[in-house]
Structure 1
Amino acid sequence: MNDPLSQRLWFLFGLLLAAGLAGALLSPHFLQTSTVGYLLQYVPVLGVLGMAQTLVMLSGGPGIDLSIGATMSLVGLAIAAMFGLGVPLLLACALGLGIGGLLGAVNAVLVCVLRIPSLMATLATFFTYSGLALALTGGSALGGFPDWFGVLAQGRFLGVPIHMWTVFVPLAIVLHVLLSRTRIGSHIYAAGNDERAAFLSGVKVWRLRFALYCLSGVIAGLAAIMTLSWFQAARPDAGEGMELLSVTIAVLGGAHIFGGIGRISGTVLAVLIVTTMQVALQLANISQAWQLAAIGLLLVGSVVADNAVGDRLRARLRRAS
């Protein structure tokens, strides 16, 4: 219990219980069984984007990917366009993941090669990708997907959406193992904690961050596929607002904004908290403006808590070294 990160996880668990209690008080429909399935419908898309944001932040820099929602929208439109041209849907999805990686590589070049601060670089690509999505479609959605494709996000197994079992949970496990049990994970933490020391110890910081921006694009492609399956259509605004929600989830989950601190388990708890809040406010018929205000307050509180935990942990790391 003396570990600040463990304390953060207990804090998040308590916050999740508080969000659930608030939901029950705000709406009598919140505790219905159907609400759980409705809530979990949102978790995989937001969750994978939050995990991608966590990886980018952990590697330091400081790193952030504000284009992740626009990347998701553009990849979804690319998959729909390829399918409309006769490309088999599964192949179009695979190619979409590659397109996501290429869009992430654009961010990587801007940040890692041209040395543009990640905030400015990914904000620029956010506007570029969003503009392309609107310009190429005129703001219209692209549909025509087969019914079987909807099973991924609309189907249920044991009352839980299938994309929870097939995408969100496996990705969370893989990334947890990557960060906690592999050399790559230790390199990510090392680069985030002290870039110069990591470089002198043999970590290829430049390559590592480049790869993580590419991976962020691929994961945004996964989110696009789940969204396509859910809505059975590609919308140019599908990822609108997702970038800020992914940042909120990553920071609330314990990812330090300057890198080196954070866990995937914290990100998982954070996405459950955010989606619980959103669903509770929607069921209570609270306006979208107040919902955004609540998310904003949550982000401010998470940054304050993040700074407190980060300062304590960094001080402990300095004493240990």
Structure 2
Amino acid sequence: MKDPLTQRLYFLFGLLVAACILGSLLSPYFLQVSTLGYLLQYVPILGLLGLAQMLVMLSGGPGIDLSIGAIMSLVALAVAGLFGIGTPLLLACLIGVGLGGLLGAVNAMLVCVLKIPSLMATLATFFAYSGLALALTGGSPIGGIPNWFGQLAQGRFLGVPLHMWTVFVPIAVLLHVMLSQTRTGTHIYAAGNDERAAFLSGVRVWRLRFALYCFGGALAGVAAILTVSWFQAARPDAGKGMELLSVTVAVLGGTHIFGGIGRVMGTVLAVLIVTTLQVALQLANIAQAWQLAAIGMLLIGSVVADNAVNARLRAMARRVPA
């Protein structure tokens, strides 16, 4: 009998195929090569945010980061603003990733040190970061990004956007190795499964979670750099709605909302499913409200599937002899 988590991956792959079939039925343009390029251009941005959300949720708590889209917007503005005052663009990008980690550290301080529930803490920082992004720009984008930098997100290699090869795939592979092959990954799963048992076995749970909030913020900073490259401008609303999409991607991919269960591969498949569905509905000229409704239904279905997987795992654990 297959592992329920492996069955979940098969389920996600089938769902991806179904989304592709739906897209081809809704629009004759869906199966064009140009559509694939556009679809994959969006994947790394949502994918990085989904992976960041997955890591925060995996460590338990329960943990969630509702400010991740606002962090992306604020970092993008910082990168474009620093470049605008004469900072070399690559240095501005490095500073932006550091700023993302710092903003994540604010979340970590609220959740891990002050013990504020993550939902309330990150909702508060979501409003703070979003408000700051709008206040600094008056709602206007910051342009002036050079054409050569646009090649990172707009360039192609074998028909696939360059930032898929150079950013998203390497980060996803490294996270997979970290979670499956290293002590840090073992500690993350242990903290999510049983916080007290992990602590008694020597895992410094609060430090681990603190680091993951910081790392999640840094990943949002990388995603911000990709948006600046794609649009060749920084928009204060670039991360609008991305926090909920990142949660949808993480949960749909099999990450348990209370931690301890989840895989990088599941999150990657979930990103492809959500992106495929969005592009298919856009090509079919489906209204934005119905697109949001479809994503909401997908989230509900993912939670139901998540509960079914966890019930299966508990049943398997009861059958294992002591």
With the shorter chain as reference, the TM-score category is: over 0.9
Please name the residue that 2:278 is paired with.
278
Shift of 1:311: 2.5
Shift of 1:319: 5.7
Shift of 1:169: 0.3
Separation in 1 of the partners of 2:45 and 2:59? 22
Decide whether aligned partners of structure 1 residues 198 and 318 sit closer, same or farther in structure 2, where only a CA change above 3 A counts. Answer: farther
Please name the residue that 2:68 is paired with.
68
Please name the residue that 1:190 is paired with.
190
Please name the residue that 1:159 is paired with.
159
Separation in 2 of the partners of 1:312 and 1:184? 26
Aligned residue identity for 1:191: A
Q: Which string of whole-angstrom CA distances, capped at 9 and with x for unpartnered residues, describes residues 260-289 of structure 1?
A: 000000000000000000000000000100
Please name the residue that 1:301 is paired with.
301
Aligned residue identity for 2:44: P
Shift of 1:26: 0.4
Shift of 1:318: 6.0
- Secondary structure at the aligned position of 1:258 is classed as coil
Q: Which string of whole-angstrom CA distances, capped at 9 and with x for unpartnered residues, describes residues 34-54 of structure 1?
A: 111011011000011000000
* Percent identity over paired residues: 80
Please name the residue that 1:291 is paired with.
291
Separation in 2 of the partners of 1:225 and 1:201? 39
Shift of 1:256: 0.2
Please name the residue that 2:48 is paired with.
48
Decide whether aligned partners of structure 1 residues 314 and 201 sit closer, same or farther in structure 2, where only a CA change above 3 A counts. Answer: farther
Separation in 2 of the partners of 1:241 and 1:178? 29
Superposed, 1:52-201 pairs within 5 Å as: 52-201=52-201
Shift of 1:316: 3.4
- Secondary structure at the aligned position of 2:291 is classed as helix
Name stretches of at least 5 consecutive residues in structure 1 with no aligned partner: none
Q: Which string of whole-angstrom CA distances, capped at 9 and with x for unpartnered residues, describes residues 202-222 of structure 1?
A: 001010000000000000000
Separation in 2 of the partners of 1:198 and 1:51? 23
Report the aligned-residue RMSD: 1.0
Q: Which string of whole-angstrom CA distances, capped at 9 and with x for unpartnered residues, describes residues 96-139 of structure 1?
A: 00000000000000000000000000000000000000001000
Separation in 2 of the partners of 1:199 and 1:7? 31
Deviates more, 1:77-86 or 1:248-257: 77-86
Decide whether aligned partners of structure 1 residues 144 and 318 sit closer, same or farther in structure 2, where only a CA change above 3 A counts. Answer: farther
Please name the residue that 1:37 is paired with.
37
Runs of 4+ in 1 over 4 A off after TM superposition: 317-321
Separation in 2 of the partners of 1:40 and 1:79? 24
Q: Which string of whole-angstrom CA distances, capped at 9 and with x for unpartnered residues, describes residues 49-92 of structure 1?
A: 00000000000000000000000000000111111111100000
Shift of 1:314: 3.9
Separation in 1 of the partners of 2:316 and 2:64? 25
Separation in 1 of the partners of 2:310 and 2:216? 24
Separation in 2 of the partners of 1:69 and 1:153? 18
Separation in 2 of the partners of 1:310 and 1:257? 11
Shift of 1:307: 1.1
Separation in 2 of the partners of 1:254 and 1:314? 15
- Secondary structure at the aligned position of 1:214 is classed as helix
> How high is the TM-score relative to the length of structure 1?
0.99
> How high is the TM-score relative to the length of structure 2?
0.98
Separation in 2 of the partners of 1:238 and 1:318? 47
Separation in 1 of the partners of 2:127 and 2:33? 40
Separation in 2 of the partners of 1:180 and 1:52? 16
Name stretches of at least 5 consecutive residues in structure 2 with no aligned partner: none
Separation in 1 of the partners of 2:113 and 2:315? 31
Separation in 1 of the partners of 2:258 and 2:310? 9
Please name the residue that 1:228 is paired with.
228
Separation in 2 of the partners of 1:161 and 1:174? 20
- Secondary structure at the aligned position of 2:61 is classed as coil
Kindly tell me the number of residue pairs found equivalent between the two proteins: 321
Q: Which string of whole-angstrom CA distances, capped at 9 and with x for unpartnered residues, describes residues 16-47 of structure 1?
A: 00000000000011111111101101100001
Aligned residue identity for 2:243: E
Q: Which string of whole-angstrom CA distances, capped at 9 and with x for unpartnered residues, describes residues 168-202 of structure 1?
A: 10010000000000000000000000000000000
